[in-house]
Structure 1
Amino acid sequence: MTHRKVNRRSFLGTALAAGSAPWILPSRVWGERAPSRTLNVAIVGGAPARSVGRQSRAQVVALCDVDDRRLAGPKKDYPDAAAYNDFRVMLDEMADDIDALAIGTPDHSHFPIAILAMSMGKHVFVEKPLANTFHEAELLMAAEQKYQVACQMGNQGHSGGNYHQFKAFAEAGLLDGVTKVVSHFNRGRRWHPWGDVPGFPEGEPVPEGLHWHLWHTTAEERPFSGRYHPGNWRGWYRYGMGAMGDWGPHILDTAHRFLELGLPTEVELVHVDRHNAYVFPYETTLRFHFPARGDKPPVEVYWYDGTANRPPEGERSGTAGKVLLGGKYDFEGGTHGATLQVIPEAVRKEVESELPRFSTGSNHYQNFVLAALGEEKCRSSFDVAGPLNQVFNLGVIAQELGLQGQTLAFDPQAKRFVDNEAANALLVGPPPRKDWEFLYEL
């Protein structure tokens, strides 16, 4: 037995010894495998990861959530599935019965759940953002190569019309000259709901049925607060990636992929409103500089968030979207699978009939299931989604440092900031708590 397997077994054993047991025992006899044309899926956390289990060739065999109240609904939907509070116990007890995990938990827990499952040969569907730190995303990309399992990040539009259209436009050379991409999210969400935040909140009674010690995974355990769970964790640097991590993967995914942007050499915090050391700002404008790639020119990518922090007229698309400038034509597009439109409208009418046609394929969840069954390739595999996620990780670091007007120089080859140790420390993030360290040793 290898050193890594010993560590994993010890890790799982610790979870069992701590008294984490199945919430409801399975009603079927484990070991009776479904036919190979069906994927046995464990759902960890909430929607939209549950959509994986709704695909025609997927069978939900296990459910896992740290909150009993949130398990109750899925248990009614899948009465024959085993239900757990601790993903480690689930993987230990059902190792031979689970083919894949669909993970829809708070951002900070994506990495430990995914990498443990991958090390056990399980395929993983991980909701966006992929990982809370640059380093965790790097490890997940390496794990995808090492374990050779199907891996998909859950930015659902990356299997929609925008993906297929963007691919066709790129192959036709329509995007070769793009020099500027303006992206934005100006809808109200839960990034900054409490005004000035002087520190982590004081403790409150833990709601009945919430296994709070399991919620933290690798993070240092803190007293429960309704400002974390349910949902509000996204506004805290320690647990989420704010508006950019939540919506960036739906808005910038195709531009990043088909413009072949890779990692930037500069990240500038152009504007920030009410920076805070604990939670995300009210507003942010960021600039990313991507160098030339072969015959493709350098590209400046801008990100605007905050309900009132909108790009200039002519550089925005509704309340959430992107504009691409400098190519054969200028384009605007919305979020998720929304397709691009030539701008301005007068030009659109002239050239619309000349634009490449495109066909669509399987939806994002179905694509993952079919990839796990060996019939397709994941469209948002970690080698695609990982660098995209790392762009957002770099943006979050600029937000957290909060120095308006500061340009952070980044070395894409070394994958480190240049002469900025504070920023480099945030690439890795806080150390994992005791007994979770081995997950970071690939």
Structure 2
Amino acid sequence: MTIKMPVAATAISRRGWMKGALGASALLAPGLVRAQSRGQKVNIACIGIGGRGVAVVKDLYDSGLANVVALCDTEMGASRTAEVLKMFPDVPKFRDFRQLFDKMGNAFDAVSIATPDFSHFPVAMHAMALGKHVYCEKPMGHSFRQIQLMMDAATKYKVMTQMANQGHSGAGYFQFGAWTSAGIIKNVTRITAFMNSPRRWHGKTTNGFLPAEPVPADLDFDVWQATSNPHPYNFGYMVGEWRSWFEYGNGALGDWGAHIFDNAHEFLRLGLPTEVESHWIDRPSRYLFPQGSTLIFRFPRRGALPPLELSWYEGQNNLPPLPADFGDSVVDPNIPPPSAGSIETKRLAPGKVIYGEGLTFKGGSHASELEIIGQAGLDLRSRLPATPAYDTSHAGNFLRSVMGQEQCHSDFRIAGPLCQTMALGVIAQRTNAKISFDPGSRRITNHKVADALLLGDPPRPEWAHYYQL
């Protein structure tokens, strides 16, 4: 079932959007758009080219499978966009993604989205309605409702989609699948996941939103805000600082959960939890994510798979309980550097412990492979199945899928329930409560405020049409 969305989209805004969509390329069936790229390079428009967007553009281009034909960023021309602009000096450039689609909709097959979390949704919905394939940074959307709509749109418009949790095309992904199929990982009842590195909101306090400052000349702040509640511009929201705010970000869980327990979520078929408990919160705030948090997700039995409890530990002083023979952390050497702060790997790197039948596993984040803790791992070493080889990147997997050669490893059908699980965790943090969730009705049944948060904030009227599928 899908969440119903009582939004007041005006007839004018809805008609205007659809008119623009049809005028660009909506008359091309998705299959035909995909066929245009079959066996050739994929023409792609990159939306969000600063910060994390730099690496996304490079990953796509370095695959050798993409032609970058347009660039879009609300800060186009600012220093954060300079590196990508230097790479592609002659392609058309836009600050408003809607103008990009209106003027160049027939010139590309796919888009990359590396904008702030809260603005993934309208860009992806616009693209999919035009039959464009979507490579979207994680998490998919800002609210449970947005994520559900993105999944529904991908199904309706029959487009290729990929959430950019890049480890989902790495060695750890293929190992987890092979070990699950071979019965090495079986009957898992407990997972401990942790991210204890400094976050940009650590040490911050506030009693409200930030005061107004002059909007820089090289920023389209109205488009930057997208569907979110409007607030006066302040630099304290920019350059990744939006991650600190419930209004704009998804905290450490939304930023790192998709890199830490994504494989477990898929291969153990976790789906959606029936309960999420805010077990401990350090300095809860109405506005900012907490300084530390322990959440407990409870997943029901899935066929023959037993119920599972996933505990999430975040915060520099909120280290998780670990097995006595845990040893050193598992570290993926290819973790992208943060735009601010640091990733602590000397004390305890981001990772997880997985408790299965007869074996306990430890792992890191991204593409890192699991290790079996204790003597059991040494005894099994010669009998473990080999990790299947894969010779391309996560971006390459997406592009090959658009070309009809592969299937996306983290398409919205797979990534959506993972992101919705994380969205439920954010709601538990925000309310500091134990919430009961009914996966059938997609409702929180014991907490009215938490249930209302599933829908997210009402969109600004001129953006409401994106919520109409």
When normalised by structure 2's length, the TM-score is: 0.86
In the alignment, which residue of structure 2 is the partner of 1:375?
Answer: 405
In the alignment, which residue of structure 2 is the partner of 1:218?
Answer: 227
1:211-250 map, 5 Å: 211-250=220-259
1:53 to partner: Cα distance: 2.9
Distance 1:53 1:5, change over 3 A: farther
2:446 pairs with 1:419: yes
Match of 2:187 among 164, 169, 177: 177
In the alignment, which residue of structure 1 is the partner of 2:132?
Answer: 122
Is the CA contact (8 Å cut-off) linking 1:291 and 1:298 kept in structure 2?
yes
Question: What secondary structure, in the 3-state scheme, does the structure 2 residue paired with 1:436 have?
Answer: helix
Q: Which amino acid aligns with 2:65?
A: R
1:319 to partner: Cα distance: 2.1
Question: What secondary structure, in the 3-state scheme, does the structure 2 residue paired with 1:348 have?
Answer: helix
In the alignment, which residue of structure 2 is the partner of 1:310?
Answer: 319
Q: Which amino acid aligns with 1:383?
A: R
Q: Which amino acid aligns with 1:113?
A: V
CA deviation digits over 1:353-395, x for unaligned, max 9?
A: 1111121322100000001111110000000000000000000
Match of 2:302 among 266, 288, 293: 293
Is the CA contact (8 Å cut-off) linking 2:281 and 2:290 kept in structure 1?
yes
Distance 1:254 1:347, change over 3 A: same
In the alignment, which residue of structure 2 is the partner of 1:55?
Answer: 63
Match of 1:351 among 375, 380, 383: 380
Q: Which amino acid aligns with 1:349?
A: L
Q: Which amino acid aligns with 1:40?
A: N
Q: Distance in 1 between matches of 2:186 and 2:456?
A: 36
Is the CA contact (8 Å cut-off) linking 1:63 and 1:71 kept in structure 2?
no
CA deviation digits over 1:310-365, x for unaligned, max 9?
A: 10132874320010013231100000000000002x22211111111121322100
CA deviation digits over 1:245-300, x for unaligned, max 9?
A: 00000001000001111000110001100000011000000000001111111100
Q: Which amino acid aligns with 1:249?
A: A
Query: What stretches of structure 1 of length at least 5 have no aligned partner?
Result: 14-32
Q: Distance in 1 between matches of 2:138 and 2:258?
A: 7
In the alignment, which residue of structure 1 is the partner of 2:263?
Answer: 254
Distance 1:263 1:377, change over 3 A: same
1:175 to partner: Cα distance: 2.1
In the alignment, which residue of structure 2 is the partner of 1:206?
Answer: 215
Q: Which amino acid aligns with 1:59?
A: N
Distance 1:358 1:3, change over 3 A: farther
Q: Which amino acid aligns with 1:215?
A: W
Is the CA contact (8 Å cut-off) linking 1:175 and 1:259 kept in structure 2?
no
Distance 1:4 1:276, change over 3 A: closer
Q: Which amino acid aligns with 2:180?
A: A
Higher mean alpha-carbon deviation, 201-210 vs 78-87, is at 201-210
Q: Which amino acid aligns with 1:157?
A: G
Q: Distance in 2 between matches of 1:99 and 1:54?
A: 18
Q: Distance in 2 between matches of 1:5 and 1:414?
A: 27
Q: Distance in 2 between matches of 1:35 and 1:305?
A: 43
1:55 to partner: Cα distance: 1.8
Question: What secondary structure, in the 3-state scheme, does the structure 2 residue paired with 1:309 have?
Answer: coil
Q: Which amino acid aligns with 1:61?
A: V
CA deviation digits over 1:388-431, x for unaligned, max 9?
A: 000000000011112xxx42111011111113211111001110
Q: Distance in 2 between matches of 1:183 and 1:281?
A: 17
2:159 pairs with 1:149: yes
Q: Distance in 2 between matches of 1:359 and 1:198?
A: 52
Question: What secondary structure, in the 3-state scheme, does the structure 1 residue paired with 2:111 have?
Answer: strand
1:434 to partner: Cα distance: 1.6
Q: Distance in 2 between matches of 1:149 and 1:6?
A: 23
Distance 1:214 1:109, change over 3 A: same
Question: What secondary structure, in the 3-state scheme, does the structure 2 residue paired with 1:285 have?
Answer: strand
Q: Distance in 2 between matches of 1:3 and 1:177?
A: 54
2:40 pairs with 1:40: no
Q: Distance in 1 between matches of 2:21 and 2:386?
A: 51
1:307 to partner: Cα distance: 1.1
When normalised by structure 1's length, the TM-score is: 0.91
Question: What secondary structure, in the 3-state scheme, does the structure 1 residue paired with 2:153 have?
Answer: helix
Q: Distance in 2 between matches of 1:341 and 1:416?
A: 37
In the alignment, which residue of structure 2 is the partner of 1:17?
Answer: none
Q: Which amino acid aligns with 1:62?
A: A
CA RMSD in angstroms, aligned pairs only: 2.0
1:386-425 map, 5 Å: 386-402=416-432, 406-425=433-452
Match of 1:331 among 353, 361, 365: 361
Q: Distance in 2 between matches of 1:4 and 1:211?
A: 20
Q: Which amino acid aligns with 2:467?
A: Y
Q: Distance in 2 between matches of 1:150 and 1:34?
A: 12
Is the CA contact (8 Å cut-off) linking 1:12 and 1:88 kept in structure 2?
no
Calculate percent identity across the aligned residue pairs: 42
Question: What secondary structure, in the 3-state scheme, does the structure 1 residue paired with 2:45 have?
Answer: strand
CA deviation digits over 1:129-176, x for unaligned, max 9?
A: 111100111001101110011100010000000100000011012222
Q: Which amino acid aligns with 1:41?
A: I
Q: Distance in 2 between matches of 1:360 and 1:7?
A: 48
Is the CA contact (8 Å cut-off) linking 2:38 and 2:403 kept in structure 1?
no
Is the CA contact (8 Å cut-off) linking 1:179 and 1:326 kept in structure 2?
yes
User: Which structure 1 residue ranges, 4+ long, deviate > 4 Å from structure 2?
Assistant: 2-5, 9-13, 33-36
Q: Distance in 2 between matches of 1:294 and 1:100?
A: 37
Q: Distance in 2 between matches of 1:39 and 1:122?
A: 11
Is the CA contact (8 Å cut-off) linking 1:270 and 1:287 kept in structure 2?
yes
1:254-273 map, 5 Å: 254-273=263-282
Question: What secondary structure, in the 3-state scheme, does the structure 2 residue paired with 1:256 have?
Answer: helix
2:84 pairs with 1:74: yes
